[in-house]
């Protein structure tokens, strides 16, 4: 199966009139951290549910570890550690009961690892899930997801609604999982700073379509942020060929370019303006330039 842990080809999914996924194709390579970004409702969770086999592809194909997750749920799910955004855990169980319950499904479960994480996160194993705080619940779900050392760690919005300390604990576990050779992580997030730090590969989806996909290095190399100085005040937004987005006021404007630097440069010169600064663009700037400010 080569190096593809997940391989999705041409998947479309419709809920009523809404196209949640619109002919999506992308692959997750072994050994890397893959960030899935998009606004709420972009289709991230729907996509993750297809990887888990919770939704069956109506068109297109989903392969995980070169198998169909709907037809081979035991084989596929046994190798995935999954933390959902809702962190839906059995409320009535105590933490230690949840650990034993999860262990039963995973022959590779490492009880020492689970115990050490319970200690690190200062959790009380006798506490009931329903009495846990938001952060404790997320950490408990995280332990259940990582303690069998899954080949694929799959996290849906792991930072959503959590404080900085818990977020850090979760991301450290992602680092640890991937630093051990051959393991892979896919996480969805709308926090672009986090994605820029944590990802080797980024897939940006918007309204059910892939709008940008590639290694973070390539994506960053292909985009630039320009500061443009006009000799005269611009009363309306100037038209500049080769730029993805343009924002500013009066004499000074900021543009994000994609690849077509020469086109943009020529266009800027022909308007009698000059570039006063050119620098790399952050993922946040690239995202806003691609899908618009209202999307986040």
- The footprint of other proteins (CB under 8 A) covers 31-33, 168, 171-172, 175-176, 178-179, 193-194, 196-200, 216-217, 220, 224-225, 279-285
Angle at 144 between CA 139 and CA 150, to 5 degrees: 120
> Min. distance of Cβ 171 from other proteins in angstroms?
5
> Min. distance of Cβ 23 from other proteins in angstroms?
29
Nearer to other proteins, 205 or 281 (CB): 281
Nearer to other proteins, 268 or 281 (CB): 281
> Min. distance of Cβ 194 from other proteins in angstroms?
8
> Min. distance of Cβ 190 from other proteins in angstroms?
15
Indicate the angle between helix axes 134-146 and 111-120, nearest 10 degrees: 160
What are the tokens at 274? 């000059």
**Measured between alpha carbons, how far is 245 from 50 in angstroms, rounded to an integer?**
33
The residue with tokens 């004499």 is: 251
| Contact residues for 86 (Cβ-Cβ < 8 A; gap 6+) | none
Nearer to other proteins, 11 or 202 (CB): 202
Nearer to other proteins, 274 or 279 (CB): 279
> Min. distance of Cβ 54 from other proteins in angstroms?
27
**Measured between alpha carbons, how far is 33 from 215 in angstroms, rounded to an integer?**
10
Q: Give, in order, the Cα–Cα distances in Å from 270 to each of 95, 245, 266.
A: 66, 18, 6
Nearer to other proteins, 63 or 183 (CB): 183
């Amino acid at each position: 199966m080569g190096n593809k842990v997940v391989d999705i080809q041409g998947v479309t999914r419709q809920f009523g009139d809404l196209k949640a996924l619109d002919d999506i194709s992308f692959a997750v390579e072994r050994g890397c951290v893959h960030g899935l970004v998009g606004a709420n409702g972009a289709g991230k969770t729907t996509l993750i549910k297809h990887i888990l086999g919770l939704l069956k592809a109506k068109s297109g194909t989903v392969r995980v570890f070169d198998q169909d997750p709907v037809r081979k749920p035991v084989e596929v799910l046994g190798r995935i550690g999954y933390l959902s955004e809702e962190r839906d855990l059995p409320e009535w169980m105590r933490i230690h009961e949840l650990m034993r319950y999860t262990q039963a499904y995973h022959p590779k479960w490492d009880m020492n690892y689970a115990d050490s994480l319970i200690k690190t996160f200062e959790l009380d194993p006798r506490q009931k899930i329903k009495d846990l705080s938001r952060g404790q619940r997320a950490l408990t779900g995280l332990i259940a997801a990582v303690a069998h050392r899954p080949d694929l760690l799959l996290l849906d919005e792991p930072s959503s609604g959590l404080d900085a300390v818990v977020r850090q604990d979760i991301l450290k576990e992602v680092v640890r999982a991937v630093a051990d050779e051959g393991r892979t992580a896919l996480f969805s997030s709308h926090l672009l700073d986090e994605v820029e730090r944590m990802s080797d590969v980024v897939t940006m989806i918007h309204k059910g379509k892939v709008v940008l996909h590639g290694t973070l290095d390539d994506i960053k190399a292909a985009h630039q942020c320009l500061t443009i100085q006009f000799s005269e005040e611009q009363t309306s937004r100037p038209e500049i060929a080769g730029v993805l987005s343009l924002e500013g006021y009066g004499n000074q404007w900021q543009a994000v370019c994609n690849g077509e630097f020469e086109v943009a440069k020529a266009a800027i010169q022909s308007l009698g303006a000059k570039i006063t600064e050119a620098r790399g663009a952050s993922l946040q700037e690239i995202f806003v330039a691609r899908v618009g400010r209202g999307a986040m």
